[in-house]
Amino acid sequence: MSVAPSEAHAQLEAAERELLDLSVETSQADWVHATYITEDTDALAAKANARLSAATVRWARRSMALPAAALDPVDRRKVLLMRVSLPIVAADDPREGEELSRTVAQMQGTYSKGTHIPLGRTEAVDLQALSRILTESREPARLEDAWTGWHRVGRSIRGPYTRYVELANRGARGLDFEDTGAMWRSKYDMPPEAFAAEVERLWQQVRPLYESLHAYTRLRLRAFYGPALVPERGPIPAHLLGNMWAQSWEGVLPLLLPATDPPSYDLTQILTRRGTSAEEMIRYGERFFVSLGLPPLPSTFWERSMLQRPRDREVVCHASAWDVDYVDDLRIKMCVEITEEDFYTVHHELGHNYYQRAYSGQPFLFRESAHDGFHEAVGDTVSLSVTPEYLVRIGLLDRAPEASGDLPFLLHRALEKIAFLPFGLTVDRWRWEVFAGRVPPEQYNRTWWAMREQYQGVRPPSPRDETEFDPGAKYHVPSNVPYMRYFLAHILQFQFHRALTRIAGQTGPLHRASIYGSKEAGERLGAMLALGASREWPDALEALTGERRMNAQGLLDYFAPLQRWLDEQLRGVPRGW
C-alpha cells in the first residue's frame, strides 16, 4: 500500500511527540531515583524506562515499513536514529522481552553486590575499597588478592550473559540488523564493517605512542617490583597498573615520575586553602562557558541540581549532566569534592549541559550529539583548556610555571588518556565478536585475554580459565552499555582542542593552549553543538574542525613533548610485547 510523503511525515511527528513525552517522564523518574534511592523510586524509574523502550521499538518497527520514496532525507535520518537509539532491543515475543529485562537486571544486581574479603581483613568490602587497594598498595600479594577477589564477580554473570546475547540478537534482527554489535556500529553513519575499519585506523595512528608509554611503564615497574614479576619483554601483569581493569594508570604515577620532577603546583591545595565551596566549583565552570560568549546557566539549574551528598538519604554520587525536559531544565548530579579531579569534572559535565542546551531547538529525534563520542569529547575538550595560563587568568595561580617543567603533567595525563585507548577499543571489539557468534561461550574468557594482550599488552596475574568470566567484572558489560563512545572521545577531544585553539589564535604548545575568553572559538563550538544529530557526524566535525575524518594527529601533537622524552628514556629498551 502506497504512503504519501505527508502521511509518512505526520507519522514521524506523532512518534516524536510521544517519545518526547515519555522521555521527559523517564528523565524525571530517573532523577528522583538517582537523588532519592528507595525501592519505590527504583520501581517507578524501571516502569518509566520500560514504557519508553517499548514505545521506541514500536515506532521504529512502524517507521521501517514506510517506503523510502515516501521519506525526505530529514525523515530518513529520523527513522535511522530511532532504530539505533536503544542499546538493547527485545524481540516481538513479550515473554522474551520480560526475560531480557530480568536478565540484564540480574547481571547488574550481581555486579553491584560484588564484594571480597581482602588479605588481612575480616570483613568483605566493595569495589570502591578494592580499587583503592589497587591504587595505593605496593604489595604484590595484596594487589593480586584484590584483583582476583573482585574478578570472581564474573562467574555468576557468565550464564545470564550467554542468554542475554541470544535474546538481544533476536531483537536486533527484528530491526533488520545482523546482530546487536552491528546495530551498535550502525549509529555512526557508515556500514558496520566500515566503522570497524575506521576504529582500527585510528588505533594504528596512536599505537606507537601507546607502545612507548607501555615500554616506559614496564621499565619502571620492573625496577620497582623486580624481574621475577615484571618481564623485560612481554605483557605487564594487569594488577600492577593501579586500576582494577588496567584501563588507566594514574595510580602508578609515583613509581614512574623521575625523582627530580615533582608537580609544579597542587590545585587541590589551592582550592582548599581558598575555602572553595561546591557551588563555586560549578561557578568556575559556568564562567568558562560565558567567556566563550555562551549564556549563563538558567536559574533552575541552581535550584534543582544536586551538588553535595545529602545527609538524609541514599543517592548516586557519580557525576552526570542532565537535561530533564529536553529544552532548558539543565542540571548536574554530583557530590562535589574540592579537588583538582572534580575541578576538571565540573568543566566536563557542563560541556554536556551546554551541548544539550544548544541542540534543544532541533526536532526531538535530533536532540542528541552527532554521534555518542561527540558528547563525551565536548566535555573533555573543555577540560583540556584547564591549563596553568587559564588558572592564572581566573586568579587561582599567581603565575604559570615554565613549560619546561610540564613533564609530570603530561605523563599524568598520558596515563589517563593514552593508557585508556586500547582498553576502550577492546571492550567493544570483544562484544562485537561475541554478538556475531564468532566467539562462542566456551571461548569467552580466553578470547577476552587474547584481545587484551593484543591491544593493551597486559595479562592477568595468574592463569584464567573458562570457569571465569572476566569481562563481567567491568560494569559496562553486564549493564549493556556500549563503550566505543569513550574510545572515540579520547581521539576527538584532541582534534577539537587543536582546531579551537587555532581559531582562538593560540600558537604555543598544544598542551598549554586554552580557549578561555575566545568568542571566536565559542562561536564555532556553539554552531557545531546546535546541529545536534540533525546532520551526519562528518558534517558536524567539519563545522568545527574543517576536517571530515576523525584524526588522532591532535592527540599526537599534544603529547609530542612527552614522546620525545620517552624516546630518550627508552634508548636500548625493548618496546612491544
For the chain, the domain total comes to: 3
Asked about 389 being catalytic, the answer comes back as no
Identify whether residues 369 and 349 lie together within a single domain.
yes
Select which of 250, 349, 368, 376 is catalytic. 349
Identify whether residues 253 and 289 lie together within a single domain.
no
Q: What is the per-residue pLDDT for 262?
A: 64
Q: What is the per-residue pLDDT for 8?
A: 86
Distance (Å, rounded) from C-alpha 316 to C-alpha 536?
34
- The SS3 call for residue 125 is strand
Q: What is the per-residue pLDDT for 260?
A: 65
Q: What is the per-residue pLDDT for 2?
A: 67
Identify whether residues 10 and 127 lie together within a single domain.
no
Distance (Å, rounded) from C-alpha 456 to C-alpha 246?
9
Asked about 476 being catalytic, the answer comes back as yes
- The SS3 call for residue 485 is helix
pLDDT averages per 10-residue partition of the chain, 577 residues? 78 95 95 89 87 90 85 92 90 85 88 92 92 96 98 96 96 94 96 97 98 98 97 97 97 89 82 96 97 97 94 85 96 94 94 97 97 94 94 94 87 97 98 98 98 98 97 94 96 98 95 97 98 98 97 98 97 95
Select which of 416, 476, 520, 547 is catalytic. 476
Query: Which residue type sits at 103?
Result: T
Q: What is the per-residue pLDDT for 259?
A: 76
Identify whether residues 431 and 296 lie together within a single domain.
no
| pTM, full prediction | 0.94
Pairing of strands 330-333, 320-323: antiparallel
Q: What is the per-residue pLDDT for 78?
A: 94
Q: What is the per-residue pLDDT for 70?
A: 79
Which of 459, 481, 503 is the last residue before a domain boundary?
Answer: 481
Distance (Å, rounded) from C-alpha 150 to C-alpha 20?
40
Identify whether residues 294 and 356 lie together within a single domain.
yes
Identify whether residues 299 and 349 lie together within a single domain.
yes
Domain extent at residue 45: 5-83
Identify any residues that bridge with 322 across adjacent strands, giving them in sequence order.
Answer: 331
Distance (Å, rounded) from C-alpha 177 to C-alpha 481?
18
- The SS3 call for residue 322 is strand
Which of 441, 457, 481 is the last residue before a domain boundary?
Answer: 481
